[in-house]
Structure 1
Amino acid sequence: MTLLKSLGGALAAAVLTTTAWAETPVLRASVLKFGTVNWELNTIKHHGFDAANGFDLEVQGVAGGSAAKVAFQGGEADVIVSDWLWVARQRAAGHDYVFIPYSKAVGGVMVGKDSSAQSLADLKGQKIGIAGGPLDKSWLILQAYAAKTHGVDLEADTEQVFAAPPLIFKSALSGEVGAAINFWHFLAKMEASGMRKLVDVSQAASELGLDPNTPLLGYVVKGDLVRDNPDLVNGLAAASRSAKELLASDDAEWDRLRDKMKAKSDAQFEALKAGFRAGIPAPGPVDEAAAARMLELMVELGGEDLMGKADALPEGTFLSSGS
C-alpha cells in the first residue's frame, strides 16, 4: 500500500511537472548564427524576458537566410527574421505570414577615406561592390535616387560586383572596389576602419518620398500562430521591446555582449552599438500608408522578379496591436 501510495505520488508529481512544462510554450527562432539579431535574442534569454512574457525562447543558429526560411516553411521553426517586403510577396502568393518590427537599420554606400567621390555621380566608371544580388533592395533604391538627384544610371555607368557581405567588406577595405554597398553592421565596421559614408539608404529613401522610419526587418511568424496563440506572439513582441529598451539605455549590457559582437577594436564596438541603437524602431504600429509607398517603388524598380504577385500591400502583413 505504501509502495502504491509512493508510486501514485510520484505519478501525480510527474503529471503536475509535465502540465507546468506544457503550459510554457516553446518558441523556436531560426536565425543566422552570427547575425546582429542574436544580440537582442541573447538579451531576451539572459534577462528572462521570454519567461516574463509566458514563453521559452529557443534559438536555432543556421548558416544562411535561406536555411532559416526552409526551416520556417517546413515547420521546424516558429519564427525567423526577414524583411516585410518578403512577407508581402509571400502573402500575395497565398502564404499566411505576419511581420513584427525588429529594426529600421539599413545600409548605404561607403568609399575609401582617400576617395575623391562626393556623390553617387562621382562613381561613374568605378567598380561597386554590392552585398546581395541585382535585386538587392538597397541597390535598387540607390539606383532610383541617383537617377532622380544626379541623372545618373548607376547600373550602366558602373561595374557591379555582387558577393556576400563579408567579401564585400574585405574588398572595400583592400581597395579592390571603389565603393561598397553593404548591410549596416558591416558599414559600421567599415566606417570605424576609416572609410567614409557617401550616402545611406535612409537618406536616399527620404529623397524618393519614402519614410526612413518604416522598419524593414522584423520577426516573421505564421498567421495560424497569431490566431491560435495570440498571447505567445504578443509575448514575443513585448520581450523584443523590453530587450530594445535595455539595449537603448544600458552601456553595461553592451559590455556583456561584446564578445558576441566580434568587434576587433573599440571603434568597431562603439560603431556597432550606435548603429543598433539607431535602428531601433519607435513603439507602436507600422505606418501602413508609408509601407505601401515603399512597396509600390519596389514593384516599379524590381518588378515581378522581386515582388512576385504583390503589386499592393496585402492586408494583414503587419501584426496589429489588437492581435
Structure 2
Amino acid sequence: MGDEDLPVIRAAVLKIGTVNWELQTILREGLDREHGFRLEVQGYADTAATHLAVQGGASDLAVADMIWLARQRAAGRDYLFIPYSRAVGGLVVPEGSPARSLADLAGGKIGIAGGPLDKSWLILRAYARATHDMDIAADTEQVYGAPPLIYRSAVGADYAGAINYWHYLARMKAEGMRELISVGEAAQALGLDPETPLLGYYMREAFLGDNPGLAQAFYEASRAAKDLLGRSDAAWDALRPLIDAQSQAQFAQLRADWLAGVPPRGPVDPEGARAMFALMHDLGGRALMGDAAQIPPGLFAPVE
C-alpha cells in the first residue's frame, strides 16, 4: 500500500502547544506511516478553534481533558478518549519562601491560571480540607489570570504561591521557584490513582468506525514517540526550536516534567477514572461537569 492509500488523521493543535513535541516526533521519525496512517498537523490559534475543527469535520483529532470530553459525550457528541498525558499542575512558591505546606499560605495571595474551576485548584482545595482542615479559598486571596501573566507575576514574587499549567510551572521551577505540592501528590493523598491520564487525544466514533484499527494504530505511534523521547537526547535536541526554552535549565525542566507526565501504557483504568470524576463532580458541580453526572458509557477508546 502506497502512502497515498493510507488513511489520514488531521490533527488540530495549538500552534505553540506542547502536544506538538509528540506529534512532530511522530512525523520526523515516520511513525505514522510505520503504523499504517498519515498524520497531518493543523495549527490553530486557540483551543476553542481546535475543538470546533473536529466538531465541524475539518479535523479528525485534537487534545482535551477527560472532564471536557465527558461533558461533550454526555451532550451527544461521539468523542472517544485516547490516553495522552497525566501531566497536571501544582502549586509553587517563591525561592526562599518559608512555606512547607498549604497551611502556611494562609493570609497570602495565590495566583491561579484557569479560573475558579481550574481542576488543579479544585483538587488542592480538597487536599487542604482533608489534610489541614483548611478552607484554602476562604483563608487566602485568589488572583486569576492567563498563564503567562501568572507566570510573570509569580516569578516576580507577587504571590505567596501560584498554580499554573504544567509547562509554565516547569519554567517557573527552572527560575528558582519551589514546588510546594503537585496535583499528583494531592490526588494520591485523596485516594485517587495518580496514573490516571487526565489529558487525551480524541476522535469521533464515526470517523474511527470508518477506519477500523485506526485508534490503536495512532496509539502505537504515540507510544513509540514517547518511548523515543524517553531515551534519546537527539530526539529532544530536534525539538528545541518548538520548545523555545530561555535557558538550559528551562529546557531540562520541561523535558523532565513532560516525561514525568507519560502515563503507563494501556487503556484507562475505569475505577481510577470514576474516582477522579466523582471528586470533580463533588467539587465543581454542574458548573464544571455540565450534564455529565458520571462518566458516559463508551468514552474511552479500546486501546491496549
**TM-score, with normalisation over the residues of structure 1?**
0.91
Q: Any residues of structure 2 matched to 1:210-225 within 5 Å, and which?
A: 210-225=192-207
Question: Helix, strand or coil for the counterpart of 1:249?
Answer: coil
Deviation of 1:53 after TM superposition, in Å, equals 1.6
Whole-Å separation in 2 of the counterparts to 1:291 and 1:86: 13
Gaps of at least 5 residues in structure 1 are 1-18
Alignment of 1:34-45 (within 5 A): 34-45=16-27
Does residue 125 of structure 1 match 2:107?
A: yes
Shift in Å at residue 231 of structure 1? 2.4
Partner of 2:258: 276
Alpha carbons 2:277, 2:294 under 8 Å: kept:
yes
Determine which of 266, 279, 288 is the counterpart of 1:297: 279
Tell me how far 1:232 sits from its aligned partner: 2.3
Matched, 1:96 2:78: yes
Alpha-carbon deviation of 1:182?
0.8
- Pairs within 5 Å for 1:115-154: 115-154=97-136
Q: How well do the aligned residues superpose, as a CA RMSD in angstroms?
A: 1.3
- What is residue 269 of structure 2 aligned with on the other side? 287
Match of 1:200 in 2: 182
For 1:71 and 1:134, locate their aligned partners in 2 and report how far apart those are by CA, in whole Å.
27
2 CA distance for matches of 1:253 and 1:21? 24
Structure-2 separation of matches of 1:105 and 1:186: 12
**Letter of the aligned partner of 2:273 in structure 1?**
A
Tell me which of 149, 156, 159 is aligned to 2:141: 159
Structure 1 residue 249 corresponds to structure 2 residue 221 = no
Output the CA distance in 2 between the equivalents of 1:293 and 1:110.
26
1:311-322 → structure 2 map (5 Å cutoff)? 311-321=293-303
Q: 1:253 to 1:22 in 2, by over 3 A?
A: closer
CA contact (8 A) 1:146 1:152 kept: yes
Match of 1:59 in 2: 41
CA contact (8 A) 1:98 1:223 kept: yes
Identical aligned residues as a percent: 56
Is 2:3 the partner of 1:46? no
Return the alpha-carbon distance in structure 2 between the equivalents of residues 64 and 134 of structure 1. 20
Match 2:240 to one of 258, 262, 277: 258
What is residue 16 of structure 1 aligned with on the other side? none
| Residue 162 of structure 1: how far off its partner (Å) | 1.3
Distance across 2 between alignment mates of 1:72 and 1:229: 16
CA distance, structure 2, for counterparts of residue 163 and residue 31 of structure 1: 22
Q: Could you tell me which runs of 5 or more consecutive residues in structure 2 were left unpaired when the two chains were aligned.
A: none
**In structure 1, how many angstroms separate the alpha carbons of the residues matched to 2:281 and 2:56?**
28
CA distance in 1, matches of 2:2, 2:89: 44
Distance in 2 (alpha carbons) for counterparts of 1:181 and 1:22: 46
1:225/1:233 contact within 8 Å kept: no
Structure 1 range deviating more: 204-213 or 48-57: 48-57
Contact 2:86/2:199 (8 A) holds in 1: yes
Q: Map of 1:69-108 to 2, 5 A cutoff?
A: 69-108=51-90
CA distance in 1 between counterparts of 2:221 and 2:303 reads 15
Q: How far off its partner does 1:296 sit?
A: 0.6
Shift of 1:321: 3.1
Once the two structures are TM-superposed, the CA of residue 21 in structure 1 deviates from its matched residue by 5.9
Distance 1:164 1:68 in 2: 19
DSSP-derived class of the 2:36 partner: coil
Q: In the aligned structure 2, how far is the partner of 1:165 from the partner of 1:64?
A: 13
Instruction: Verify the 8 A CA contact 1:99 1:221 in the aligned structure 2.
Output: yes
Distance 1:60 1:247 in 2: 22
For residues 53 and 20 of structure 1, the distance between their equivalents in structure 2, rounded to whole angstroms, comes to 13
User: What is the number of equivalent residue pairs in this alignment?
Assistant: 304
Deviations 1:121-163 (A, max 9, x none): 1111211111101111111000000011011111111111111
Match for 1:308: what amino acid? Answer: G
Amino acid at match of 2:189: E
> In 2 relative to 1, CA 70–174 (structure 1 residues): closer, same or farther, beyond 3 Å?
same
In 2, the alpha carbon distance for the partners of 1:79 and 1:119 equals 40
What SS does structure 2 have at the residue aligned with 1:116?
Answer: coil
SS in 1 for 2:268: coil
After TM superposition, the score normalised by the length of structure 2 is 0.97
In structure 1, C-alpha distance between the alignment counterparts of 2:212 and 2:147, rounded to whole Å: 36
